[in-house]
Amino acid sequence: MQERPLLGESPELQAVLRAAQLVAKADCPVLVLGESGTGKEELARMLHRLSPRADGPFIAVNCGALPSELAESELFGHRRGAFTGADRDHPGFVGAAEGGTLFLDEIGDLPLSLQPKLLRFLESGERQPLGDAHSRSANVRVLAATHRDLHEASDQGHFRRDLFYRLHVVPLELPPLRLRGRDALLLADHFLKELADNYQTDPPRLNPQARRALLEHRWPGNVRELRHLCERLVLLLPGQFLGPENLGLKAAPWSRKGPEDRLVQLPAQGLEFEALEHDLLRQAMVQARGCKAQAARLLGLSRNTLLYRLKKHAIDC
Ligand SMILES: Nc1ncnc2c1ncn2[C@@H]1O[C@H](COP(=O)(O)OP(=O)(O)OP(=O)(O)O)[C@@H](O)[C@H]1O
Ligand SMILES: [Mg+2]
């Protein structure tokens, strides 16, 4: 796989990259946090590249995609005969990462049943393949990433707090693209050129209004969304001079500017945010006649977030 550096000059990104260089050499676990598309996997690969394990394997595992019945043997391996169908020894992802780095992506989705086993592995440095009477010492560095709020997941009982604290020793949080100053422009110029080279065509150019639109967009899909936009522009409008109307960016509430655009006017004397949240939750539940899925839609929240907030406010329903 092609290795790309993480581009960006904003102090917000540079601070994370500096911290990453410091911890890359240590053998401790690192938890990479950030919204979807902020570059978590890219950062994990960089940590591996800068580590003394760079010549060893980098094994990426999507924890959300581990089939739950097979998850333990997929991760820690098994011995031949450990269960029906186990016709040979299997190293598992941990075994495959020996001498290198194991990247546990979407760690927030790791099945609960596996979490104590991962914690034991992190604390002892030993893995025990299924069906093996002995544990073996493993020489593996663990990196993990998630776009989920693990604090919230722990509060909800989906993620073990002891594992959270073990992983959270060195957290590196990638800022969302909308909080990286002018990086969106720098990245757009880079992606347009790189992709135009790949497709052997001319890069489109952005007029000042289009550049401004890039800076004001909310980028819910972060760098990935920007890269996909650039790919679309290179393919559909090569070599053209583009205005904001060519970008097809939807205005988001975040980028509303004038007072006439505000969703809610903050009273001059301020307000009680917790009380407002409580009131909105109750209104949504009443309006949705107690249907949580409908209440979540009314508030623009995921069902899990709604459940968490109802619990936080002790709203009985
Ligand atoms: N700073 C950056 N410079 C250049 N390319 C970047 C940067 N950050 C991310 N990318 C690119 O953006 C895309 C998304 O990055 P990546 O897959 O690492 O994000 P992620 O945080 O792991 O996303 P998800 O949460 O959806 O898994 C990739 O193509 C990656 O190469
Ligand atoms: Mg990822």
Residue 1: pLDDT above 50? Answer: no
Q: Which residues have CB under 6 Å of ligand 1? A: 4, 6-8, 34, 36-42, 147, 187, 223-224, 227
8 Å CB contact between 73 and 81: no
pLDDT in tens, 189-248: 999 999 999 999 999 999 999 999 999 999 999 999 999 999 999 999 999 999 999 999
Pairing of strands 30-33, 171-173: parallel
Average pLDDT over residues 292-311: 85
Give the pLDDT band (50/70/90) at residue 273.
confident
Give the pLDDT band (50/70/90) at residue 84.
confident
Shortest-distance atom of ligand 1 to CA 13: 1
Ligand nearest to the backbone CA of 224: 1
Query: Which mutation among 223, 228, 230 tests ligand 1's pocket best, with the greatest number of atoms within 8 A of CB?
Result: 223
Sequence-ordered list of residues with C-beta below 8 angstroms from that of 167, at least 6 positions apart, any chain: 29, 31, 107, 122, 144, 150
Question: Which amino acid, one-letter code, is at 54?
Answer: A
What are the structural domains, with CATH classification, of the chain? 11-175 (3.40.50.300), 181-255 (1.10.8.60), 273-312 (1.10.10)
8 Å CB contact between 140 and 101: yes
Give the sign of the dihedral formed by CA 39, CA 43, CA 49, CA 54: negative
C-alpha span between 231 and 249 (Å, rounded): 14
Q: Which pLDDT score, from 0 to 100, does residue 262 have?
A: 56
38 or 113, which is more confident? 38
Residue 120: pLDDT above 50? Answer: yes
Ligand nearest to the backbone CA of 41: 1
Ligand 2 ion: Cβ-proximal residues, 5 Å cutoff? 41
Query: Which mutation among 224, 225, 226, 228 tests ligand 1's pocket best, with the greatest number of atoms within 8 A of CB?
Result: 224
Q: Provide, rounded to the nearest whole percent, the portion of the chain with pLDDT above 70.
A: 94
C-alpha span between 67 and 111 (Å, rounded): 9
> Which pair of structure tokens corresponds to residue 255?
């980028």
Question: How far apart are the CA of 105 and the centre of ligand 2, in A?
Answer: 6
**CA-closest residue to ligand 1 atom 12:** 224
